[in-house]
Amino acid sequence: MAKQRLGVVFGGRSVEHEVSVVSAMEMMQSIDLERFEPVPFAVTRDGRWLTPEETRAQIDRGDALFAKRIDADVPPLAERPEVIAALAGNDAVFPLIHGVNGEDGTLQGMLEMFRIPYAGCGVAASAVGMDKALQKQLFERAGLRVARHVVVMSHEWAGGDAGITRGVEQRLGFPAFVKPSNGGSSVGVSKVRSREDLGEAMSAAFGMDRKVLIEEAITGRELDCAVIGNDEPQTSPVGEVVAGGEFYDYAAKYLDDSARIIAPADIPAGASDAVRRDAVAAFRAIDGAGFARIDFFLPDDGVPVVNEINTLPGFRPVSMFATLWQKAGVSYSELVSRIVDLAFERFRQREAFGA
């Protein structure tokens, strides 16, 4: 049987560009090469798309891990029919770009217009999965526990911060967490200890997005649960992240190894069951498909707090998502194969419903 051509789209415009490049290179080496022919599509930091041939030339440069950035002086995608034709020639596509134009529903929308099956969440779920303020509303409506929070738009902050600061003080207290609503990898996230520090944190977060969340600081363990499936989502065992520093920041995630993954987490069975149940509820709340990782806090009272859903979690074989499935007996290559099967299933459903 002919191999399935699996487009792998990576890089992209977000701060997680380098992370995405590493994930893609490792994925293309680790998938079932009897079944798939990986077809790589790199996207530069300014959003330009390369052909598979151009991409291979970039991959072959021997840069250090996490230092590889895709740079190429090529015209925009709209002027590159050769890239679009190569993309449309795939049997399925695995979007591996984190953040803007990759994880946020826009790439998914483009793939739907070209009628190409793709891995992971659809347009709406991807968009909501990128927006921490919107997803919290859906989680609350689904009966899930979330941190108390305030959403501030940049024009509101610019219009006068005294009232907002007072509201934060009264409703949330300090310390508080400030984060861009659309973000990732902890970039722009700050822990604020007092009202005097709020301004600086808000500026950092507004550097990433026009919508910023201020949240009560939750004291508790940080747990993750991985989900795969469409209509019947399955959960992995629960994992724990132990941050080496003050919180799970960018350096801890990728650079200095100060964070550790404990899988499965050493927590009571009741807490693990609650996290898994809430992970499925969160996945359903955003109308998830394919896969996602749902992140929680577990405070001392034992009732999980949903922090966020990631519709494109770190996807390296050593990342939490794949590690948790490995603990459930699903190897990395099997995981990718199943996710592509789910992409075909969802594609057939969409076609059948005429959507």
Ligand X SMILES: Nc1ncnc2c1ncn2[C@@H]1O[C@H](COP(=O)(O)OP(=O)(O)O)[C@@H](O)[C@H]1O
243 binds ligand X (CB under 6 A): yes
* Whether the Cβ atoms of residue 244 and residue 256 lie closer than 8 Å to each other: yes
* 90 given a catalytic annotation: no
Active-site residue among 14, 310, 319, 337? 310
Instruction: Please provide the size of the chain in residues.
Output: 355
Residue 33, CA distances (Å) to 54, 183, 338 in order: 21, 33, 14
Q: Considering CB under 6 A, how many residues would be counted as binding ligand X?
A: 18
Q: Where are the alpha helices (DSSP H) in the chain?
A: 17-30, 52-59, 81-88, 106-113, 123-130, 132-141, 154-158, 162-171, 198-206, 250, 269-285, 320-327, 332-352
Taking the least distance from each CB to ligand X, the nearer of 200 and 231 is: 200
Residue 45, CA distances (Å) to 10, 54, 101, 126 in order: 10, 15, 11, 20
Candidates 248, 254, 321, 332; binder of ligand X (CB under 6 A) is 248
Residue 103, CA distances (Å) to 11, 225, 314 in order: 12, 19, 12
Candidates 185, 272, 311, 326; binder of ligand X (CB under 6 A) is 185
What is the C-alpha separation between 54 and 58, in angstroms, rounded? 7
What is the C-alpha separation between 1 and 64, in angstroms, rounded? 37
CA dihedral 46, 47, 52, 58 (to 10 degrees): 20
215 binds ligand X (CB under 6 A): yes
262 binds ligand X (CB under 6 A): no
221 binds ligand X (CB under 6 A): no
- Angle of helix 320-327 relative to helix 332-352, nearest 10 degrees, comes to 100
At 13, give phi and psi (nearest 5°): -85, -10
Taking the least distance from each CB to ligand X, the nearer of 8 and 146 is: 146
218 binds ligand X (CB under 6 A): yes
* 163 given a catalytic annotation: no
Taking the least distance from each CB to ligand X, the nearer of 91 and 295 is: 295
Taking the least distance from each CB to ligand X, the nearer of 217 and 281 is: 217
Contacts to ligand X from residues 277-316, by CB under 6 A? 295, 307-308
Region binding ligand X by CB under 6 A among candidate stretches 59-67, 93-101, 194-202, 215-223: 215-223
- What's the min distance (Å) between Cβ of 324 and ligand X? 16
* 250 given a catalytic annotation: no
Taking the least distance from each CB to ligand X, the nearer of 54 and 209 is: 209
Candidates 58, 108, 186, 337; binder of ligand X (CB under 6 A) is 186
- Angle of helix 132-141 relative to helix 269-285, nearest 10 degrees, comes to 110
Active-site residue among 185, 186, 236, 337? 185
Candidates 11, 38, 105, 183; binder of ligand X (CB under 6 A) is 183
Q: What is the DSSP string of 69-102?
A: --------GGG-HHHHHHHHTSSEEEE---STTT
* 295 given a catalytic annotation: yes
Contacts to ligand X from residues 107-166, by CB under 6 A? 147
What is the C-alpha separation between 102 and 104, in angstroms, rounded? 6
At 263, give phi and psi (nearest 5°): -140, 125
Candidates 10, 139, 177, 254; binder of ligand X (CB under 6 A) is 177
Taking the least distance from each CB to ligand X, the nearer of 135 and 272 is: 135
Active-site residue among 104, 216, 249, 295? 295
Site residues (vs ligand X, CB under 6 A): 147, 177, 179, 183-186, 189, 215, 217-218, 222, 243, 247-248, 295, 307-308
Could you list the active site residues?
54, 185, 254, 293, 295, 308, 310, 314
